[in-house]
Amino acid sequence: HFNAPSHVRRVIMSAPLSKELREKYGVRSCPIRVDDEVTVATGRAKGNSGRVVKCYRKKFVIHIDKVQREKANGTTVNIGIHPSNVIITKLKLNDDRRKT
């Protein structure tokens, strides 16, 4: 999957839905996108929640607005997290996604 094109990486970068969303939509996971609200389920940032600000398909990571670390020069940067390590708690619904 390392040489997969961008439209295939979108599907690979799926994240599980919360139990409430699973009941509502009848789907276990969904491709993640910018402006979805997520909670980190595993890893160093476990328990943090926030909004997805960037989906970096080339590196298979997402960036969440409240999951940051401080660099040596004092600036803060977002930590890259694999989508399988987060749980989607709120979907950004536009016309394309509402149909699903």
| E strands present in the chain | 14-16, 29-31, 37-40, 49-56, 61-70, 76-81, 86-90
21 to 18, 31, 77: CA distances (angstroms): 5, 14, 30
Instruction: Kindly report the CATH number that applies to the domain delimited by 6-94.
Output: 2.30.30.30
- Residue 45 φ then ψ, to 5°: -95, 20
| pLDDT, tens only, 8-65 | 999 999 999 999 999 999 999 999 999 999 999 999 999 999 999 999 999 999 999 9
Stronger pLDDT, 93 or 85, i.e. the higher one: 85
Torsion of CA 30, 35, 37, 39, to 10 degrees: 80
Residue boundaries of the structural domains of the chain: 6-94
Helix or strand run (H / E) with residue 52: strand 49-56
| pTM exceeds 0.85 for this model | yes
Asked whether the beta carbons of 20 and 32 are under 8 A apart, the reply is no
